[in-house]
Structure 1
């Protein structure tokens, strides 16, 4: 299932993850690092393991660690605790010397009625089509990266609309928010425990500033 250099004690700490599987994520923590050495006996570049219900996925990579949770979201406390627990297991195996980047990404989907849909009703500051032409929007995709003043955080935003299947009565507004920091001061579990709540607060602040009251009612 994994490289033979992994210790049995480390396998016990990830015993809830039993299936090698791939999956997209609704929320994820990604930590990139630099290591002192690589295990010469390991032929895999990454190990990808899912829980039995396939709602949680952890990736142990040579250049980093990723923990993801699919919907339904289990709540911040349990998500953060599980991410930190698995990060400690990864640390035992990979022995990282420097954390180069930490990222927290949430992908939020808001299902909106298809009939009479107008982007401005759900997304603050949404672009409008030229008024002089009878245009009908066929797709929407907007991408930005911002630096947060007074901090080492940056934010990458993706806003898009997923077109509905034929005869479907709803379409989906997708908001992807990736908060990340690249700094060598991130080392140590205590630093990570401090950073994650800060990044979650920033993510929430951005998310609720982007959507209208009508969208908030649908998101509850």
Structure 2
């Protein structure tokens, strides 16, 4: 069980399922899915998303931008949503985060309802992503006092960095999974403050490496890893600001 905070920095959590191409898909699936979940997600919208598709060709990595239609289903307060598109299911929850015990059942419900209307052959990718916004009451911050993951700046360089992006990918389960961690400054909500986005994305790096029947177990394991990585990225000073609940 991970640590609990009275004022956690989490602003959005996302669980994403990308199905393999041999999973059949047709235009009736979004409507059938909506009928199953509309009691919890009654609000429905149609959106066109621009997706980037990567492929390895004779001239190296190639990128193709193509439109993709999705239905987006919301709860009444629009704090929880499900997005469904061709071979794609995402489950999102916005602040205030309802704890893992509140978010995981939403993921299970969406996944099980999709399985009831679709023969899923495999998973190309599964991802669990937690986006945190950390605001500090100072315009000049020594990152090492708050974070264990930050840019190293040598002593001959100015120590006050105006902008940066620091990221890394860490392998788990013998390379089956990876966790991508990024931190970057963002505009603060008011003057005299500093703000940072700490983005932690744990994902399946090897397509089909997890059985369809084991997906929810993978999600539970991913959540445990994210908690470990999050705690590894922050110092006790931030834990005090988040008001850890003992």
TM over 0.5: yes
The aligned length equals 195
Q: Which residue of 2 aligns with 1:72?
A: 96
Higher relative contact order (CA 8 A, sep 6+): 2
TM-score normalized by structure 2? 0.70
Q: Deviations over 1:86-109 (max 9, x none)?
A: 112222344322122111000112
Call closer, same or farther: CA 1:73–1:81 in 2, change over 3 Å. same
> How far apart in 2 are the matches of 1:135 and 1:185?
44
| Contact 2:122 2:212 (8 Å CA) reproduced | no
TM-score normalized by structure 1? 0.77
Q: Which residue of 1 aligns with 2:192?
A: 169
> How far apart in 2 are the matches of 1:180 and 1:4?
29
Which blocks of at least 5 consecutive residues in structure 1 are unaligned? 23-43
Deviation at 1:183, TM superposition (A): 3.6
Q: Which residue of 1 aligns with 2:44?
A: 20
| Contact 1:62 1:94 (8 Å CA) reproduced | no
Q: Which residue of 2 aligns with 1:98?
A: 122
> How far apart in 2 are the matches of 1:65 and 1:114?
40
1:54-73 to 2 correspondence within 5 Å?
54-73=78-97
Q: Give the CA RMSD over aligned residues.
A: 2.5
The answer to which structure has the higher strand fraction is: 2
> How far apart in 1 are the matches of 2:212 and 2:152?
46
> How far apart in 1 are the matches of 2:197 and 2:242?
12
Call closer, same or farther: CA 1:83–1:5 in 2, change over 3 Å. closer
Deviation at 1:61, TM superposition (A): 1.2
